[in-house]
Amino acid sequence: MSGEQWALAQGAAALCAGAAIWRLAERERGLRRSRVVLAGGGALGALGALGASGRGFASFRAVGERWWAVVRARRAWLCLPVAAVLALIGESPLPLVAGALAVPLVGRTLRAAALRKEREARSDAVVALCGVVAGELRAGRQPPQALLFAVGATKSLGPAEEAEVLAAARFGGDVAGALRRAARQDGGDGLAGLAACWQVAVDGGAGLAAGLDRLEAALREHRDQRERLRAQLAGAWATVTVLAVLPAVGLVLGTALGARPLHVLLHTPVGFGCLTVGGALEAAGLWWAARIVRGGERA
């Protein structure tokens, strides 16, 4: 039996085992409901069984959601089961080694993406903070009360920074200084402008609402420019994605045609050399293309 046939047999056996377990569970649930109904419970017993079934489904759903949260938090570790499948099909431990080496790289990439999303979300929250403060000032509130309401409504600060700013606004402290320190967090650059407007309004008596309107307009323009740039670079990122996926597509097509590309790449000297050189060229090409796109984003 070849490697592909052995893998298909194992997959079919696992599928049959899962179907048998599911069938037994369904049969046991039906027998339990029948016992409840026939034991004299009548309609009330049936309703109780249905309620228990609903609670069981809810608990199963809660367990599934908990596992999904764990998987999302550890998505980089999904490289290992994928590598295990490739190692089983290719009958070689090399994919497992590659998967283990890919875990920290993928984890770092995912963490960078999460930090970038968090930074952009905080930047948008700072824009909303300026607009809410300006609106509350026009509604007749005093600046400290307006800031207290806006910080609680927009959630634009971290826990420590929020506590410091709220304490300064509530007890007459250095609000501008607290805002400047809060601006050091990633994505909170707009808070430095808010601190400057606050300082000018306190020292010179200038209108705080007018300054916040101009600051909000500038921050919104910066955000819109970022979105326009991202839309223009979407085609470049699509090209990078296609370059990353093409080798996998080639392997799938070769396997479908019966060429056994994994066996050639993992079990022959020429194939292993092609795999090494091709992997190095693929990594270099992806790095270079991503560097060009990142340079355009920074510019």
In the predicted structure, residue 45 carries a pLDDT above the cut 70:
no
Neighbours of 178 (CB within 10 A): 24
pLDDT at 78: 81
Over residues 278-294, mean pLDDT: 84
User: What integer pLDDT is reported at residue 68 of this predicted model?
Assistant: 60
Average of pLDDT values for 53-74? 62
Rounded CA gap, 194 and 15, in Å?
60
What pLDDT, in 10s, does the model give residues 169-192?
888 888 889 999 988 888 888 889
Higher local confidence (pLDDT), 70 or 131: 131
Contacts of 268-271 with C-beta under 8 Å, sequence gap 24+, read none
- pTM value is 0.64
**What per-residue confidence (pLDDT) applies to 37?**
42
pLDDT at 71: 59
Identify which has the larger pLDDT, 69 or 279: 279
- Overall average pLDDT of the 250-272 stretch: 86
Q: Is 35's pLDDT higher than 80?
A: no
Percent of the chain surpassing pLDDT 70? 73
Confidence at residue 260, expressed as pLDDT on a 0 to 100 scale: 84
- 266, burial (CB in 10 Å: exposed 0-12, middle 13-18, buried 19+): buried
Q: What is the pLDDT of residues 2-16, one digit of tens each?
A: 444 444 445 545 455
Instruction: Write down the pLDDT at residue 207.
Output: 77
Q: Distance between CA 229 and CA 156 in Å, rounded?
A: 24
Q: Which one-letter DSSP state was computed for residue 189?
A: T
**pLDDT tens, residue by residue, 206-258:** 578 888 889 989 999 988 888 888 888 888 888 888 888 888 888 888 888 88
Burial 189-226 (b: 16+ CB within 10 A, else e): bbbbbbbebbbebeeeeeebbebbbebbeebeeebeee
Decide: 168 and 175 in contact? Cβ < 8 Å.
yes
Q: Are 167 and 175 in contact (CB under 8 A)?
A: no
Torsion sign (Cα): 179, 181, 185, 190: positive
pLDDT score recorded for residue 59: 65
